[in-house]
Structure 1
Amino acid sequence: MTVAAFRLGMLIPEFPTQTHAFFWREITALRAAGVEVHIFSTRRPVEGCPHEWAERAASETTYLFPPRLSSALLSPRDFPGMAQALAYVSKLSVSVKQKARALGMLACAVDFLHHARERKLDHIHGHSAADAAHVLALCRILGGPRYSFHLHGDLPVYGTDHAAKAWDATFVAAAARPMQRELIKDVGLPPERTYTLWMGVDTDRFTPPAQRAESPRGLHLASIGRLHLCKGHVHTFAGLRKALDRGLKAHLTLGGRGPHEQEIRQSIARFGLQSHVDMVGPLGEAAVIDLLHRADGFVLSSIGLGEASPVAVMEAMACGVPPVCSIIGGTPDMISDGTEGLLVAQGDEEGLANAFLQLGRDAALRERMASAARERAVRSFDYRETSRRLLEAIQVSRAPLPQSASQGTAPRSDQAAA
């Protein structure tokens, strides 16, 4: 795909952080296609980013908060838009305190408008359905470019007033099909203004090792992600404890950081797993690949809301590591149970134990799943293909179509077929 002289703004909250590897891949793929990508973020991240591209990404990012003083004044042509923007804020179904916060978003939107005009942006895509989507909608009201945004988890996680955020979006993408259904049913978006667009992985870099070494500690499980209670680590630990008590020889390497590290360490001790669980902190891409090359299985036991189509699972599958996942978000669309990995109900500790025992006791099953997982990742999750679908969605939504044509048909059916 090649695109001449197309200027795209990309808005990513608190960019870059540990979980933002896909966004950088997407930016890289779009630029390789000829798109002029301008990166924006709401504010600088609090935590550092372990990836090797982080310094470059931060240097290329324009942060909207705090807004520039030079953008504080609007020209006379913008006054009508400001009245509409203030009306937008006043109608939000939130508290007075939150509306006051929304006025801060409006200030950022004014600054965003000036940046968009200075850089002659043709379109802006936001990777959030939370406050960043308000900024996009307000920028559009003020006279900014057309916009779209991505829903990366269940709607309730991303605040309220989603219909307002999407009032003039050319489309809203969902990172998994259950989220797309929420956009249609709960927000009331026409199906033709929605897509299911997965994130992606570099399947040229995330590849299986030439030979996977056998660990002297038995089955090597890996889990990479935020150290948050929603990731269900306690269920992984309980399942591992059950499997060990039934004779499995195994250990788990846990990568990541987050607000609940202390509680997770306490859970490890409570289950007596100190000699079976290694916590290695945040990992850059090279370290993630090294870990996956040494792993026999990948574990994601998330619970509740928020999970969509986890990139960490895609990375594991690309490296030929069979995933053991809870049924959440898009995981049933990503993994054929028993073929590319194993699916268990949320919080099902017995199911997790049985899955670990299956992987640990059946090397042939592991090999078959590893091959199928890799094949699925190449076919469906490569970041160049997922980026192509995003660009196609932007182009289709901007082009005038006959009334009978559906904006979402081609990319959505491609995604479903994958």
Structure 2
Amino acid sequence: MMRILHLSSETSWRGGEQQLAYLMQELNKINVISFAGVKINFALEAYCRTNRLNYFSLEFAGEWDLKTVHSIIKICKEQSIDIIHAHSAHSHTLAVLGSLWGNKKPIVVSRRVDFPINNNFLSGFKYNYRGVKKIICVSQMIHKVIAPRIKNPKRIITIYDGIDLKRCHNSDRNYLKKEFFIANEEKVIGNIAALAPHKDYLTFLETARLIADALPCRFLIVGEGGMRQLIEARIRDLKLQDKVIMAGFRNDIEMILPGLDVLLFTSEMEGLGSTILDAMACNVPVVATAAGGIPEIIVHQKTGMLAAVKDSKQLATYVLKLLTDADLRKSIIANAKQRVNSFSKEVMAEKTMDVYKEILQAK
């Protein structure tokens, strides 16, 4: 029976943490024993505890945290781990340090960001380290971006994120408006993403300004992060206080998402965009920027609408078109629903399992 140790040093709950949770849950169904090494007292630890997933609490004090390296080695020995799967940059480094320290378990690395690998010795070394057997990219764009720094291209593979296709099946589409006291006649345009620079909420707000006078609507921002004060200040500058709702981090996304009339996804950098997949599965049409791996999900005017990064005028035009052109809206929702079926968490886990098998068979 295969035994996998997943490592993540992340402190927040974002798309990568949801993907790790889906992966562990799906592997459990096929009798793969998974353990998560997670940062103590943070979101992923709480999730594992609540959902009864095997986990170990680790300090993850930094990229050179030898105490955590020692803990990883100890877990591998005591739990007879077959493969270490690193889901974050720091955990990747610590897995490599453990290998250099004698823990010769094969390493798999997940890469979720669409910017190049840093041009320094450590980054080059850890990505090309002989113990790293596979690098899983969540989009072909990431594959293309990192390829120049990887000496053996056969190590790189693309496995798209997977979602729970049934997540919103029993949701009440009126829940959102009831929860946030939004009038029935108002359209709701929203985004669900961390308040981080690469999500480009300033373009979201500029787009909102262009839409706000055209029809009765409200704008919903779901997420938390370091840009909150800047975003709130920009809302005041644009005089959108009565239009924009800052909802913060929510645990009821499966209830909120189906109530959106349009998902407006304005990232300037994006590995793939699993929120887009969730929206497609929930029959919510998407207007997005053509950043990173997003065009691998959205075919313009077929499964969604794509605009150039930071092009608020084009984004606003497409949102208004989806809200006023019933035939286009209906067509995009239907096509997106069909498209998203190939992005299930079951498919993601099956392809990841194939990677594990390939590595162990090659030993």
Do Structure 1 and Structure 2 share a fold, with TM-score over 0.5? yes
Per-residue deviation, 1:376: 1.3
Q: Retained in 2: the 8 A contact 1:208–1:319?
A: no
Secondary structure in structure 1 of the residue aligned to 2:194: coil
Q: Retained in 2: the 8 A contact 1:11–1:39?
A: yes
Paired letter, 1:226: A
* Distance in 1 (alpha carbons) for counterparts of 2:360 and 2:337: 35
User: Using a 3 Å threshold, how does the CA distance of structure 1 residues 253 and 154 change in structure 2: closer, same or farther?
Assistant: same
* Distance in 2 (alpha carbons) for counterparts of 1:132 and 1:381: 26
Residues 205-244 of structure 1: pairs in structure 2 closer than 5 A: 205-207=167-169, 216-244=184-212
* Distance in 2 (alpha carbons) for counterparts of 1:52 and 1:298: 28
* Distance in 2 (alpha carbons) for counterparts of 1:195 and 1:125: 14
Residues 384-403 of structure 1: pairs in structure 2 closer than 5 A: 384-400=346-362
User: Using a 3 Å threshold, how does the CA distance of structure 1 residues 112 and 192 change in structure 2: closer, same or farther?
Assistant: same
User: Using a 3 Å threshold, how does the CA distance of structure 1 residues 392 and 15 change in structure 2: closer, same or farther?
Assistant: farther
Task: State which structure, 1 or 2, has the greater radius of gyration over its C-alpha atoms.
Answer: 1
User: Using a 3 Å threshold, how does the CA distance of structure 1 residues 53 and 358 change in structure 2: closer, same or farther?
Assistant: same
CA offsets per residue over residues 389-415 of structure 1, 9 Å max, x none?
A: 1111121133239xxxxxxxxxxxxxx
Instruction: Look up the match of 1:138.
Output: 97
* Distance in 1 (alpha carbons) for counterparts of 2:48 and 2:56: 14
Determine if the alignment matches structure 1 residue 248 to structure 2 residue 215. Answer: yes
* Distance in 1 (alpha carbons) for counterparts of 2:333 and 2:174: 11
Secondary structure in structure 2 of the residue aligned to 1:171: strand
Paired letter, 1:254: I
Residues 244-393 of structure 1: pairs in structure 2 closer than 5 A: 244-245=212-213, 247-284=214-251, 287-303=252-268, 305=269, 307-378=270-341, 380-393=342-355
* Distance in 1 (alpha carbons) for counterparts of 2:320 and 2:12: 38
In structure 1, stretches of 5+ residues that fail to align are 68-100, 402-418
CA offsets per residue over residues 167-198 of structure 1, 9 Å max, x none?
A: 1211111111111112221x123221111112
* Distance in 1 (alpha carbons) for counterparts of 2:226 and 2:52: 23
Paired letter, 1:294: G
Secondary structure in structure 1 of the residue aligned to 2:110: strand
Q: Retained in 2: the 8 A contact 1:222–1:291?
A: no
Instruction: Look up the match of 1:162.
Output: 123
Secondary structure in structure 2 of the residue aligned to 1:121: coil
Determine if the alignment matches structure 1 residue 29 to structure 2 residue 23. Answer: no
Secondary structure in structure 2 of the residue aligned to 1:325: strand
Q: Retained in 2: the 8 A contact 1:14–1:44?
A: no
Instruction: Look up the match of 2:10.
Output: 14
Q: Could you say what the CA RMSD is over the residues aligned between the two structures, in angstroms?
A: 2.6
> In percent, how many aligned pairs have the same letter?
20
Paired letter, 2:123: H
CA offsets per residue over residues 256-300 of structure 1, 9 Å max, x none?
A: 11111111111112112122211111111xx21211121111111
Per-residue deviation, 1:45: 5.2
Per-residue deviation, 1:106: 3.3
Secondary structure in structure 2 of the residue aligned to 1:170: strand
Instruction: Look up the match of 2:180.
Output: none
Q: Retained in 1: the 8 A contact 2:298–2:304?
A: yes
Q: If the length of structure 1 is used for normalisation, what is the TM-score?
A: 0.78
